[in-house]
Structure 1
């Protein structure tokens, strides 16, 4: 009877989530309702699925008790609105009807065409117009008019009585009570960006839009039984049972080839065997046995097309585009993926379990994560969208929710509060004071109701769906700014529907590698096979540099925490790096397992294993569980569970298993099976304790291995081609650190780094021989068009000869030219900056008109003799600091008023362990952490005057509220401590040092 129910997916309008709607309906014994969210179908499949579950569970209960089973019939549709005005409801008669509605909305979303005032001619959809819309026509067979009980008195002698069979009950549901009506008002105010008191009534729902019992609803229409009959008939004619699936079926494209799934099997085997020879040679029985095992499972689970589509994407990238990629995640557990060159991780070499990726009992779909360079991913996305039919490929969506501080700001705005007051309410340090404030209490109450409600739809970082059926059977499509059709639900709903996403991701690290390889070939003629990983990992020079822990610019291993870990481990091999990539994660580190691993790594002979099975399976990591695969191995070899159940249990403990009953059964199975292996109860309990405490934050070994491969590739380039590599890092916008750190690192390679020059620089950094010129992109305030025009014009018509010619050829404006002059970018003229600044005013003055008027003759400006103008190094340094963000020809120590550079340098810290020392450090970065007592402490990273890194720890009892005061040099007094031969400073006193002021800024 309820044809117009809104969930919270009616963004900033509805107040109930799907489970609340179903619970309310069940409590009132409502048997039929239609979910019609505003201009979206986000919740449609979730609603159908949850209603089906409710019916099944209730039926089971009632059968036991001998009662009549409860059934809630789910029907879905869409409410179409334009400019906040209700146009009509579309209710799907069946699955085809839902597709029609989704395609109708998708067309208008993607084409950016306003919805029409009248609905089109649908075949499997009922259209319900509001009674307020005037009708002077005979309604079509699929068209109806919804009338609210308050509107019944308007029916007297109404023309619609001539079409009695077209009137149906319209009782919208948006809220649950008066409290949620107030929540609705806040949501509307936020959506309309206006004060709460200024939201027009017509933009809000009615106060009576809540569920009532079906009997009460019928009483409203006692005098109009034909309206009730029409409504019942309409809803009875709706059947969405085609969506009911007791077991989730894959919705992905069934076959990669035109010939179909059987030919896919043949093709996958052919490509995999060819790749097997490339990876392992002609006679490798271990690899062959593993390949056959995986192919059997892939064929059984019908994932041949998934592998082939991923292979096709990688083949296109490597072939036509010559792009470099990294396949990572659990997909690297697969030898088939390794042979198809989807990944570069050898699963046999690392003893990786395919069951971590796919097994016979797996119900949730796996996926590959394929990384490309940050500026190449779009090319791959275009290829995918062009290759597969329109309507069968779309981006995955995401649903952002209201977050704590964001909610407080939004609520404060609609209440008309001042910005300072709103900011004070968002300050956690003022919580005790705010609790005395009545306005704050009101905000907190609304906040508690709004928190985690859907706020807006967005686009997933890289997930793409390729569907067998038209995707519009399951969702309408949006067209976000990215320009590709996007589904209206997220990855979790996609998984529950049956979609395996293709993750096409990007990262800067791949850009570093790609450009470095190109620069090396261009400048030195060397062709680097960056995929020759087996050579890299065994290179003693690379492993020695890795051990030193100074891989600045190298993917994943350059951060302060990772550098410290590498030095503590004295990491000099691939397997240790793989482990380090996993134990660096916050969960492992905070649990104490990182420290335990380091201790055991340095004293393997002292490791005491719980039993022989644990020793056999965890000897590589010294008895410490480091990877998700370790959970699988222990469950399999210690407890005797099969590999499929072991992975399900691992996944369940990571919080990704929804059924507690099924989880409890697996835990019970673990204990029964472990006892059957002959283990003591005490041992089983201890092993289970270790598993359960670790599994929630474990990391896939395959994922760590993928990161480690890329780290070695970066390390190889930095070791043997350091200048080209650091230029590539700069041109791909660095990594963990700010830009000046990488410029400093480029200087350390011996390269002469120059300020931008209009006759030498390009848009990005370039290097030839030993000279590197910074690019125009790094100049703050320089407009994009001049970043492109200046080098392009020079390449086309030769070097600029003087300032006047530069101005005419580039059409540059006065303000933009001043930026370049201040940065010495026109030093080729031989004139100092002050003279050039004088000259530019004679050419451009304060006028903005163009100088290039297709002159027949080149007329030169008169020259004037100027007095000697003073230039200073400190002024130049401040110009560089302002326009580049860092001084190039100076360092921050040159700004100091004092010549003092500290008593101890970073390289000598290991000789002062236990002593209190005084140092001067140039601030690089900091990290804030919370202690167990919820107080703050900090970790700092600095460079000394010699350009070497050192690290500091700032404990709460020795540190002010916030010790750091931005970039600059700090005087540090602290105690030298050492942890596994890694020295650092425990800070006792800390202060920023005074600097010379900019002479231009001084009166």
Structure 2
């Protein structure tokens, strides 16, 4: 085997270009007997740490590098096409200094050289050449490009410059993938190397692992470039030679260059970088007044103990001193002070801070320092769940801030610790199972409907892979086995699934370092945000302090609601000190009246809350923990235990104090920790290790721990010795094992529950202020604004229309009602409306439409048209049709008047008799009739996203209220909660945007429309036979009752396949009549079981066929009259015994 080391290798982190997974590359190199391997992704270092670790695991020397993009001129030049061209250059780190220079170059390329690509230039390279090996690169390198275009002298000049920079660490790169261009310049490259006195080095431009992966990589390129595979003139690799070859294959490719092959070994021997993991690089906090940091920490905690716990009892002080001892011993004093400092900054600068989320809420020290707002003693939260003295790991506080002001806190931290010491964190979007099928199908030109059907065969479960889906779905498996086209789509998708597709900024992650970040991690720009090039997990391994600074809309809503309360002359409640014990709040939650309430507003959650009927804060914590996939199966048992305490059974009396608050159910991770402590004598630290092992299903560890739990071990007494029967102990251990993988962190749930209670409290006691704040938080998202405006109306809150003399830019509270905000009018924008409000407050109310036009700066015709259609001028007495007839002339006249005024002359309204002229102008409004109501409402909705002065469905409310599903439910269904995919539904609404298109076969017409409800809208589709049957109803603005099936889509809006239609006016509330042989107990049970399986709003009458008696069923047994349910009733009771009329 010819000795060889690959030095030009692209992994999956050459995004949508490299199809070589790091683990597979390293395994292939090892199988080929190659003991070193390089990574040289395009312009980035995303994968170097993963690559380094993978190589070390396999006993292969990692060579860390990058294929840099080099700007044609200065990296700071960005002038059109001339600076869009860039060259490639391979750089490898020889030593630790070279690795630091490589990170500096990768960072500078993004931060100061980005123009389509992250670019360096030769001046920057010269400044950071120490410790680097430089290869002249592939055909896209400057030297190969010069030779290709016959500019040997230019190639020589650049070669001389690089030789001066790098000396014997500069190599001329030779490649031969069978491309004519490569073979044309190989003699020139060899000649140039001889003339310069530098060595050549053989490389293969690796983009995939094996030759068989060439097609998958070609598809990946098409996904990147948005081209089809069969397009003739697209970007492609023109051969299938770009794989990780053996030394013999490389020798065969470059038979005349044995020295170039040997040079790979020479370079590998030169390169040796050691990365230090686990070295803490926390910044140092400086305490005031020369105090030691530990002393300052203890002072802050003591002050908090007196302030928040009234001085604290002996148990509280014992817990606090224990925590402080662990914090000091584990070296996290600075960490606590850093977190306290930026939270203190936020709170003292009016920036709303959350009550704490994650395991940090289990720390009493954090509670005393005002880092968190949840008393861990009161709610049984455990410190070791956050900071385990028996497991050295970085603690992790996740902190929520007002989403409008989060950046101010990040900026403060950057100022305090230095701009180069703080950055946000990168994250990668990957090609998930359904998405990769759609991507591959698209570039192969497979019809969308076929790909959509294929993708939907992948179960909609979290982290579902294609391999799992093939195992779980017989239909998917059959397509893979029997359909050649689908087999190709699936096979290619399996090769590409999981590859990173793009980089973005982590929602909350911020890294803070005690040393310049570029000494440890390369940086980049995502939009205007500086982020790391390594993801969160890697940063933690490198010892960097990672925190989540999360922007939370709910905090902004709470802040604004409190402000509106104060503006209205009422004292704002002190939410920070309130008890969580208001019965009125729990009554509202138990009704499911939770629109806008944090974590409690989904349709499924509201249904759960009605069953649970929470009456205390512990119920809220449990409800938030239970309503998730996995623990949902505990819900019936929990609800039964709450409402029937006699149903609660404990496997052993020692479990009662631990599980009492959750009615005998295991709900929290902390309960697992408490159980192993109470029953077997574990320490808190070891109990957390057991919890972690259970959650990760580490079976070898669990086998050992079962023995320790049941019979004891070193430092563990064991359950049997504590009087627990062996079979009971094993059953309890089994239950913990089953439960631990989906158990919720109670500390996290408690923090969520605080926000849920606070928002519910505001909604219950200050509904107008709360809903105004909630609506304003969604400005710019008209569907959500409309949803919450209608929600406010359902609560009995008046909503006042937009008015140029009463409205502000945002929604506002006015006389116990919500006034529509002008900036919510589509196409208007907040800046112009803010300026308009300032003008009105400065110079007085607008006297007329024409006065408004003249005095409002920045107004254009589209804005003015939208304001008219929204009804913003209705209070001035003119009709909307009149204003629409003259608004263009009015705006032109206003512009002319402003020009006159700016030229130093008086406006019309400054002249004597201006009021008369104003009235004259008003009188000159054309005498045109007002728009008909349907058109007026349609234009109004177009301008605001909702109907304000009425609704086309107002006269059908009784029929709509009788239905169990709304159009909004169809719009929001996601396949996980709410209406299921392919569910049979009956819904009422208004048909709009009706259109017809021929089928692909040309055999008929398909119908397409939008079905609009009182809230929400959903696409609707009719097949030709249905369209032909109901064609007379398929008209714009027709109110209809439709039956059909919901089609839930990932990549576009949901749609409803309509099967039947009727006029909504014919669909007033109908009743289900069930005729039974007799109203015996057995027959009643049968009917009740059926009705309970289909709860809805249609009344039910049970008919005794023998006695000819009728009995009205109670509201709890009202029926959801879907097609499927009616068919089931007919099958169960006989078609002749079921009437729905």
- Establish whether TM, by shorter chain, passes 0.5: yes
1:528 deviates by: 2.8
Who is 1:529 aligned against? 574
1:729 corresponds to: 774
Residue 764, structure 1, aligned to residue 810, structure 2:
yes
SS across alignment from 2:16: coil
Distance 1:966 1:960 in 2: 5
Whether 1:43 and 2:44 are equivalent positions in the alignment is: no
Distance 2:1014 2:186 in 1: 85
Say if 1:929 and 1:937, in contact at 8 Å, map to a contact too: no
Task: Give the aligned partner of residue 559 of structure 1.
Answer: 602
Distance 1:410 1:199, change over 3 A: farther
Q: Select which of 620, 623, 628 maps to 1:585.
A: 628
Aligned residue in 1 for 2:420? 391
Q: Which residue of 1 aligns with 2:762?
A: 717
Change (3 A) 1:942 1:524: farther
Task: Determine the C-alpha separation between the residues in 2 that align with 1:205 and 1:349.
Answer: 68
**Selected match of 1:250 from 268, 271, 280:** 280
Q: Deviations over 1:869-906 (max 9, x none)?
A: 2455554443433333332343564243xx8558xx8x
User: 1:826 aligned to 2:886?
Assistant: no
Number of residues of Structure 1 aligned to a counterpart in Structure 2: 935
Distance 1:519 1:935 in 2: 41
Report the TM-score, using the length of structure 2 for normalisation: 0.75
2:36 aligned to which of 32, 37, 52: 32
Say which of 584, 595, 601 aligns to 2:636.
595
Q: Is the 2:400–2:549 contact (alpha carbons within 8 Å) kept by the matching residues of 1?
A: yes
How many angstroms does 1:223 deviate by?
6.7
CA RMSD of aligned residues (A): 3.9
Q: Does the Cα contact within 8 Å between 1:15 and 1:175 map onto a contact in 2?
A: yes
Please, which of 756, 760, 782 is the counterpart of residue 828 of structure 2?
Answer: 782
Choose from 1105, 1120, 1138 the match for 1:987: 1120
Using the alignment, how far apart are the partners of 1:456 and 1:867 within structure 2?
A: 58
Name the SS of the counterpart of 1:360 in structure 2: coil
Q: Are the counterparts in 2 of residues 814 and 848 from structure 1 also a CA contact under 8 Å?
A: no
- The equivalent of 1:87 in structure 2 is 88
Deviation larger for 824-833 or 169-178: 169-178
Alpha-carbon distance change, 145 to 727 in structure 1, aligned in 2, over 3 angstroms: same
CA distance in 2, matches of 1:875, 1:198: 47
Structure 2 CA distance for partners of 1:923 and 1:181, relative to 1, 3 Å: closer
**Helix, strand or coil for the counterpart of 1:321?**
coil
| Equivalent position to 1:632, from 669, 673, 677 | 673
Matched, 1:376 2:405: yes
Partner residue of 1:836?
883
Q: What pairs up with 1:41-120 in 2 under 5 angstroms?
A: 41-54=45-58, 71-81=59-69, 87-113=88-114, 114-116=119-121, 119-120=125-126
SS at the partner of 2:899? coil
Within 5 A, what are the aligned runs for 1:420-499? 426=455, 428=457, 438-481=484-527, 483-499=528-544
Checking the alignment, whether the CA contact within 8 Å between 2:590 and 2:614 is kept in structure 1 is: yes
Are 2:343 and 2:353, in contact at CA under 8 Å, matched by a contact in 1?
A: no
Tell whether the 8 Å contact from 2:897 to 2:907 is kept in structure 1 after alignment: no
Q: C-alpha offsets along residues 834-880 of structure 1, whole Å, 9 cap, x if unaligned?
A: 232333255358x9976631343445576447546245555444343
**In the alignment, is residue 753 of structure 1 matched against residue 799 of structure 2?**
yes
| Partner Cα separation in structure 1 for residue 169 and residue 430 of structure 2 | 36
Q: Does 1:128 align with 2:135?
A: yes
Conservation of the 8 A alpha-carbon contact between 2:668 and 2:744:
yes
Q: Structure 1 stretch 347-356 or stretch 675-684: which is displaced more?
A: 675-684
Query: Is contact 1:778–1:884 with CA below 8 Å preserved after alignment?
Result: yes
Task: Report matched runs for 1:295-314 at 5 Å.
Answer: 295-314=324-343
- Residue 1003 (structure 2) aligns with: none
State how far apart, in whole Å, the 2-side matches of 1:942 and 1:198 are. Answer: 46
Contact in 1 for aligned 2:92/2:134 (Cα 8 Å):
yes
Ranked by relative contact order (alpha carbons within 8 Å, sequence separation 6 or more), the top structure is 1
| Contact 2:63 2:271 survives alignment (8 Å) | yes
CA deviation profile, 1:211-257 (whole Å, cap 9, x unmatched): 3445665787787665456443432232222x155xx343433x222
How far does residue 990 in structure 1 lie from its aligned partner after superposition? 7.0
Question: What displacement does 1:558 show?
Answer: 3.0
Q: 1-side partners of 2:624 and 2:677: how far apart? A: 25
* Separation in 2, partners of 1:920, 1:575: 31
Structure 1 range deviating more: 465-474 or 211-220: 211-220
TM-score by length of 1: 0.84
1:62 is aligned to none
TM-superposed CA distance for 1:290, in Å, is 0.8
SS at match of 1:391: helix
Q: Is the 8 A contact 1:331 1:369 kept in 2?
A: yes
Q: CA deviation at 1:769?
A: 2.9
Superposed, 1:541-940 pairs within 5 Å as: 541-589=584-632, 592-655=633-696, 665-666=704-705, 669-673=708-712, 674=718, 677=721, 679-733=724-778, 738-747=784-793, 751-810=797-856, 812-844=859-891, 852-855=898-901, 856-859=905-908, 863-864=923-924, 866-867=926-927, 869-870=929-930, 872-890=932-950, 893-896=953-956, 901=959, 923-926=967-970, 927=973, 929=975, 936-937=982-983
Q: In the aligned structure 1, how far is the partner of 2:322 from the partner of 2:551?
A: 32
- CA distance in 1: counterparts of 2:856 and 2:622, whole angstroms: 54
SS of equivalent to 1:524? coil
Partners of 2:968 and 2:193 lie apart in 1 by 75
Label 1:939 to 1:476 Cα distance change in 2 as closer, same or farther (>3 A).
farther
Q: Is this contact kept in 2: 1:155–1:161, CA < 8 A?
A: no
* Matches of 2:572 and 2:424, distance apart in 1: 37
Deviations for 1:92-141, whole angstroms, at most 9, x for unmatched residues?
12223212111112112012443225732411222222373623326132
Q: 1:309 to 1:892 in 2, by over 3 A?
A: farther
Match of 1:284 in 2: 313
Separation in structure 2 between the aligned mates of residue 741 and residue 935 of structure 1, nearest angstrom: 23
CA deviations on 1:755-775 (whole Å, 9 max, x unpaired) are: 100111111111133343100
Q: What is the rounded CA distance, in whole Å, between the counterparts of 1:833 and 1:201 in structure 2?
A: 54
- Deviation of 1:166 after TM superposition, in Å, equals 3.5
- The residue matched to 1:252 in structure 2 has which SS? coil
Partner Cα distance (1:145, 1:984) in 2: 82
CA distance in 1, matches of 2:189, 2:305: 81
CA–CA distance in 1 between the matches of 2:390 and 2:645?
Answer: 37
Cα displacement (A) at 1:716: 2.4
Corresponding residue for 1:3?
7
Stretch moving more, 403-412 or 275-284: 403-412
In terms of mean alpha carbon deviation, does 602-611 or 82-91 score higher?
82-91
Give the Å deviation of 1:948. 14
CA deviations 1:408-454 (Å, max 9, x no partner) are 44334434566667656656499678986544332222111111111
Aligned to 1:317: 346
- Paired residue secondary structure (1:472): helix
CA 1:310–1:645 in structure 2 vs 1: closer, same or farther (change >3 Å)? same
Give the Cα–Cα distance (whole angstroms) in 1 for the partners of residues 812 and 639 of structure 2.
42
Alignment check: 8 A CA contact 1:188 1:199 kept: no
1:329-375 deviations in Å (ceiling 9; x for gaps): 11101111111111110000011111111112334433111112221
Cα distance in 2 for partners of 1:948, 1:642 equals 58
The answer as to whether partners of 1:95 and 1:473 remain within 8 angstroms in 2 is no
Give distance in 1, aligned partners of 2:295 and 2:986.
57
Which residue of 11, 17, 40 corresponds with 1:13? 17
The answer for the alignment partner of 1:407 in structure 2 is: 436
